[in-house]
Structure 1
Amino acid sequence: MSGDVRRGGEPEDRIEMLRRRVVRTWEMLRGSDVEVRPFRPGEDGPLATFSAPDGHDEVDRYWVNAPYAYVVITYDREASEHQYHAVEPDLDDFEVDLLRRIVDDIRDPLLYRESVGTADAETLKDELENLLEQYGVEVGMDTFHTLLYYLYRDFRGFGKIDPLLNDGHIEDVSCDGYDLPIFVYHTDYTDIETNVQFASEELDNYVIRLAQQSGRHISVGDPIVETTLPDGSRAELALGEEVTPRGSAFTIRQYAEEPFTPIDLIDYGTFSVAQMAYFWLCIEHNKSLIFAGGTASGKTTSMNAVSMFIPPRAKVLTIEDTRELSLYHDNWLSSVTRERLHEGSDIDMYDLLRSALRHRPEYIIVGEVRGDEAVTLFQAMNTGHTTFSTMHADSIETVINRLENEPINVPRAMVQSLDMLSIQTLSRFGDERVRRAKVIGEIHDIDQRTGELDYSSAFTWNPSDDEFSSNDSELLGEIQEERGWSRAQLLREMNRRERFLELLGELGVTGYRRFTALVNEYYADADRVMEKLEDELEGA
């Protein structure tokens, strides 16, 4: 349980325990009748109240779990910084004691009815109503729904950080140790301190719980776990003080419920329409691609988005160590590494990649290139498989150096089978932190004079005016030759795809299902879908 509703303190003496048993027996014999009805905000609320701390000005307020929990952003004038306040329903002393007792008594019936971790709101409501009637406690609907909120939050949700993980503005949640405030990365206020923190024992238990919820084991002997939570968030967990001296720690990276589409990334300014049309044509013609950049630069998001350009019937296989990719594609086989502590053997990315080649996929998407699996990945490129992946690097030169040296060690002759590199950056433009494609490069042959790999930039980002510029592309020239097009035909096709993406943006088509369906229509009959979209825009 979280700290504000968890039992604590020393064990009660025998007399107190006997007194409580007598009281509980009497209450159960007496009973009560709780008339449960839906929550009525105007009549039963508000459940949560907030007053800004001294010296703070309130600058923002919004719901994260209406009508129970909301967020208030304040500005501390003295410290010149924002603070994030998660506001949950108020509990008085009676309600705190009552909730502790309910938590103790509700576990057994839940274990018999279903797993505690999957108890739904209706089950919890029924058990809460039964317990209150057994206790003989008369409560108002404000108290009933407050108790129900905390039960659901702690049994089904994520405890104290549940409001943070329900906030669509938050990308990262970071806990750095015992009794330290949790920090979040907020899309509007960047890195910001919250009013949530964990005591030592409470934090240890919470980290163990996060590992268990995701089907993993964590212990003092094996204190670091990287995993995926049931809601799809990626979590890095550390238990105890052996590797993190300030105490147990965790970082949770949130992902959107629906994957970002190329239209979303154009709207955010990460890529231009011309760049997306370029990716589309190259992906259709089986050009391999790596997205590189620093932490939180949008590598995986971008790779997931451009994967929506893969032709509809092509066989796609994804390989990851933690589940992040989400494709809306019929012929998609997803594979994830496995770590076994006792029975069986580990299955790493290298094993999955070797197995993947036997499935004869046309496109292979690898979550991140880190080690010796990269050689197999580049072997797959050399044998005609189109591959996408990500890696940590901040320039084309750094990508090439990392690929050719320890611990990856891909031979230079194999590196040249890579076609494209997109270097992503998380940068500051004006008052905002933005994600941009710093450069989109193309890998060429090995220079016979110097022995170095040749490469060029097809697109570059100018941070001074936040604009993208384009250069000549050898890959587009290769596609032109493969298709037997004239230069005019190539430009016409690029312009048509740019117009297609512009139309989807103007029509507000950002949902990945409709976006993918329209791309598939384009592959089937480009002229017909273009005409349909133009008509739709005229009638809008």
Structure 2
Amino acid sequence: MALDILGKIRNLRGALRPIAPKKAPTYQFVLSEAGGLVILPEEKDTKKISFTYDLIPPYSRAQIRWSDSDRSLVYRLSEPTLDDAEQKAYNLITTSLVELVDVQLSTIKNQKEAMNYLEQKVRQIVEELEIVLDKASYNKVMYYIYRNFVGLNKIEALMHDPYIEDVGCVGYHTPIYVVHKRYGSMPTNVIYDNEDELKEFVIKLAERCGRYVSYAEPLLDGSLPDGSRVQASLAEDVTTKGPTFSLRKFTKEPISPIEIIDLKTASPEVMGYLWLIIEQGVSMLICGGTATGKTTLLNAISMFIPSEEKVVSIEDTRELQLPHKNWIPAVARTGFGVPEAGGERYGEIDMFDLLKESFRQNPDYVIVGEIRGKEAYVMFQGMASGHPSIGTMHAAGVETVVKRLMSPPIELSPSLVEILDVVITLVFAQEKGKSSRRVKNVTEIQSVEQTGNARTGTAYRWIPANDTFEPGEGTYVLSKLATIKGIQLADMKREVAARAAVLEWMYENRVLGWRDVVAIIDRYHQDPNGVLAELGLAQKGLRSTIGRRAAAKSMAIPEEPQKPAEVEEEPAPPKPEAFEIPAVIRPTFEETPVAETIAKPLKKEGAKKPPASRAKKRPKKNS
């Protein structure tokens, strides 16, 4: 309508003077990312910190410096300023865009496609309304159109900072805070002073998440198309300082096990132990406080699952990124309409429903993003039936995990709780950096009493004094695996050492990308001694004591104890085929060869039945 009216006015005016020929801008807006990860300088004196780096060059930059007035580090975002003529052109273009755009931009998943569509419309408006803009002004106007139409308005540039983990707003007239990977929480110069602007932004977040938020239902929990997790509130009677939001950024590339080692969250020995027991079908939970890296570690160790196995993941909001081709990612969804008497909506699918259905798909591994309620019962029943499971839980340690599992709303019996084999506890290590995380301990559960007291052993623990990891006295899980395989416990420990050496080799040779890491892990599953020889580790006396991965068996305790068999001297492995570690990242995981020898996780057979309070009975899974 606006264009029609303006066109008629111009036609009337044309009777008095000649109309100049219409010309659309010949230049094109190009949106670029900062080239590579910026290496931040090391500076022990916080008050001397002051540096700047690009976010969306050449339009936005970040500056981190010490502020004497705030008595802390502050994060300053700089963006181009529009002069009066540019602001007038921007207002005219955006007003016309609202009428011209005939698609929902949030449905266009590719930002480049969305910007190409918008730029076509902008060129049409500039041509029709005869708006005069030079190249620099055009690019500045297009940047703000991108930021406010395709991006996330004021915080879009912050979402391009690879060092930012969280972005949060607590209400009107208050700085937005960011959590920086190196410097922790910092205030920014981005502030929402306009009440309507903040409310509209929260509604925009809900639309991007595919959710609905209103004054009747003011709470939002969802994920953006890029995977970033969103929690927001709209009504001021719920959050009295005004609408709020918290965005936890989603990494585009999943963190590999080697990057976990590089971050010093765990050591090669700890990751080698986890690699072995995950491959052999051990069930575990990762616990810790909020934002301690539970999901990140879960995603990383899931790469130890053999690539040919069938994996089903259950999440409330999508966060996991697994490289497995045979992977079913399932996400819960909210229902439609007014809640029924039981509080559920029509068409609602919760994690309990997804988990119940997942076990009917005969998965080799089940991964649960976060255990909160009744879905835990289904998960543990699946573990008892021979389906190895991995999940996360908010808890301070193994004692809290056991208590939460035995208390409402979960209320598992001790005999079900003790089916859980391993609990990994994550903590913040603030003395090592404001955003450092560490595996505090890896605990093996041996039995659980009716009172809720668990008999445990520590496989590995973190020593804060020197920031190292040392093995504990816990050998319960390795002993069970050794009994099942009919070998000595010492052989299992040598296997852990061999895998730790492979991981350390990748760390020392900077093989960090998940594609290259998964390629070597898959090769090790197929030919462990061949990989050890190729990496030059066999010459150091390292040798796989398990050999090629055998058929899958559960972790059930054998019916009758077997005497460990004498390990016969295996013939020297044939000369392996050439094995090259790619110097660059492989194109896609789909192009990574999958093992031809298919094997399933280890199941248990056979030993003398232990007392009921100690038993971890898991029937053999149907083949």
TM-score (norm 1): 0.88
Match of 2:310 in 1: 315
Task: Report the CA distance between 1:422 and its aligned residue.
Answer: 0.4
Q: Post-superposition shift, 1:271? A: 0.5
Q: After superposition, where does 1:145-224 map in structure 2 within 5 Å?
A: 145-198=139-192, 199-224=194-219
CA shift, 1:488, in A, is 4.1
Quick one: which amino acid aligns to residue 413 of structure 1?
S
For residues 25 and 134 of structure 1, the distance between their equivalents in structure 2, rounded to whole angstroms, comes to 15
Describe the SS at the equivalent of 1:458.
strand
- 5 Å-filtered alignment, 1:333-348, equals 333-342=328-337, 344-348=346-350
TM-fit CA distance, 1:22: 4.7
Instruction: State the match for 2:235 in structure 1.
Output: 240
Matched residues in 2 for 1:25 and 1:494: separation? 85
Question: 2:298 touches 2:391 (CA, 8 Å); kept in 1?
Answer: yes
Q: Displacement of 1:531 after TM fit?
A: 3.2
Per-residue CA shift, 1:266-303, capped at 9, x if unaligned? 01010110000000111011110100000010111101
Which residue number in structure 1 is paired with residue 283 of structure 2?
Answer: 288
Partner of 2:438: 436
- The equivalent of 1:249 in structure 2 is 244
Structure 2 distance, partners of 1:40, 1:494, is 50
Which of these residues, 81, 86, 91, is aligned with residue 82 of structure 2? 91
Structure 1's 514 and 24: CA in aligned 2 closer, same or farther, altered over 3 A? farther
How has the CA–CA distance of structure 1 residues 271 and 24 changed in structure 2, closer, same or farther, with 3 Å as cutoff? Answer: farther
Other-structure match for 2:44: none
1:32 touches 1:137 (CA, 8 Å); kept in 2? Answer: no
Counterpart Cα distance in 2 of 1:390 and 1:19: 59
Note closer, same or farther for the CA distance 1:502–1:341 as it changes in structure 2 (3 Å cut).
Answer: same
Instruction: Read off the aligned partner of 2:105 and give its amino acid letter.
Output: V
Match in the other structure for 2:472? 471
Task: Give the Cα separation in 2 of the matches to 1:429 and 1:347.
Answer: 42
Distance 2:521 2:242 in 1: 49
2:353 alignment partner, SS class = helix
Whether 1:33 and 2:23 are equivalent positions in the alignment is: yes
Alpha-carbon separation, structure 2, partners of 1:248 and 1:451:
42
Contact 1:32 1:138 in 2 (8 A): no
Matched residue type, 1:66: P
Higher mean C-alpha displacement, 120-129 vs 388-397: 120-129
- Picking from 508, 521, 524, the partner of 1:522 is 524
| Cross-structure match for 1:116 | 105
Cα shift at 1:59: 0.5
Once superposed, what is the RMSD of the aligned Cα atoms?
A: 2.6
**What's the CA shift string for 1:353-372, capped at 9, x where partnerless?**
11111111121111111111
Higher share of residues assigned helix: 1
**TM-score normalised according to structure 2 size:** 0.77
Contact 2:29 2:142 in 1 (8 A): no
- Structure 2 distance, partners of 1:39, 1:266, is 41
Deviation at 1:179, TM superposition (A): 2.2
1:127 is aligned to 2:121:
yes
Per-residue CA deviations over 1:280-337 (Å, capped at 9, x if unaligned) read 1110111101000000101111011100001122111100111011110011111111
Deviations 1:79-132 (A, max 9, x none): 321211111122112211211110111233331xx4333352222223222322
SS class of match (1:144): helix
Runs of 4+ with deviation above 6 angstroms: 18-21
Q: Which residue of 1 aligns with 2:453?
A: 452
Residue 36 of structure 1 deviates from its aligned partner by 2.4
Q: Which residue of structure 2 aligns with residue 390 of structure 1?
A: 392
Identify which of 509, 512, 516 aligns with 2:511: 509
* More displaced 10-residue stretch of structure 1: 466-475 or 157-166: 466-475
Provide closer, same or farther for how the CA distance between residues 310 and 142 of structure 1 changes in structure 2, counting only shifts above 3 A.
Answer: same
**Is there any run of 5+ residues in structure 2 with no aligned partner, and where?**
32-46, 338-344, 537-578, 585-623
Evaluate the alpha carbon distance shift between residue 455 and residue 40 of structure 1 in structure 2; reply closer, same or farther with a 3 A threshold.
closer
Q: Structure 1: how far apart are the matches of 2:212 and 2:441?
A: 41
Local SS of the residue matching 1:433: coil
Q: Identity rate of aligned residues, in percent?
A: 35
CA deviations on 1:33-63 (whole Å, 9 max, x unpaired) are 244235799xxxxxxxxxxxxxx98701011
> CA offset at residue 451 of structure 1?
7.4
Instruction: Give structure 1 stretches of 5+ with no counterpart.
Output: 1-17, 42-55
What letter matches 2:533 in structure 1?
Answer: E
